[in-house]
Amino acid sequence: MLLTRPLLWRLRDHPVHFLGTFHLGPPGGFAFPPRALELIDSAAAVYLEVDPFGQPTRDIVHRSEGTLEDDIGSSRFRRLQELMPRDNDLAQLAPAGIELRLGIQAYRARGLEFDLGIDRMLYRRADGLEKSIHFLETMSDQEQALLAGDKSEMIAGLDLMLANPGVLQQLVDNLIWAYLQGDDRVLSEIRNLMATLRPSKARALLQNREERWVPLIRGIVESRRPTLIAVGAIHFAEPDGLLSHLAPIFPMQRFEAEAA
């Protein structure tokens, strides 16, 4: 699936490029225009969020005690059983687990899978070209962010989804569409919606991680080594994503296939 307008930025005075990725991909994967691929391949080093082939350090999907029904109440639990009849381990899911399971279900409904995501594609490509591959954080760091979030916010979000079963699929569809179109305005709207509906979760998954990455990225840029820094597209979105931290320091421009 060709990305005619990839979320790709190049710095004006440094041999560094930023790429917004999508962690899952369609059958056949995503493809880049030739000029964009040249810029991606020009890097001597590639930095990803985490190792896309790394193994989890803990089970964040399942709980060690109690049941999901204890957390969300019997009526919500029964409704989830109706929506997820094939999930035989539903009672043992942790709050983070139910969110992950529902999200992945929505992506898979559109044929997307993790093994076809851009992160794994970039890793394979960089490894095949014998580039150095690095990560901005550990798997444990990412797991901690996924586990974070206020329980009352989670339940409020679950109530919204249960009252409007198509709302999560529509959100996922909008995110996929925005990525395919390279529409950073829609990505910004989705980021703002996340911050509105789940402020504590958005803080943990987005802002806190980005604030930790910024000093690392500044050091990478100032080294002047040809580098590609590739993280999830939502991390670049306005109003407070990575571009808001980096663009005032390092002038950059968006890649445009027509102008390349």
Q: What is the pLDDT of residues 162-207, one digit of tens each?
A: 999 899 999 999 999 999 999 999 999 999 999 999 999 999 999 9
Model confidence band, residue 233 (pLDDT cutoffs 50, 70, 90): very high
The token duo for 214 is 């910024």
What percent of the chain clears pLDDT 70, i.e. is strictly above it? 98
Number of other CB atoms surrounding residue 158 within 10 Å: 21
Q: Where are the domains of the chain?
A: 8-56+113-153+165-254
Q: What is the mean pLDDT of residues 28-32?
A: 92
Instruction: Find the DSSP H helices in the chain.
Output: 34-41, 68-72, 74-83, 95-108, 118-128, 139-147, 151-163, 167-181, 184-197, 199-202, 208-222, 242-246
Strand-strand pairing, 45-48 and 227-232: parallel
Q: What is the pLDDT of residues 55-99, one digit of tens each?
A: 999 999 999 999 999 999 999 999 999 988 888 999 999 988 998
Q: Is the peptide bond before 239 cis (omega within 30 degrees of 0)?
A: yes
Residue 170: the pLDDT is 95
**Cβ within 8 Å of residue 13, ≥6 positions away:** 250, 251
DSSP 8-state assignment for residue 57: S
For residues 80 and 158, give the distance between their C-alpha atoms in angstroms, rounded to a whole number. 9
Picking from 101, 98, 121, 99, the residue whose alpha carbon sits closest to that of residue 109 is 101
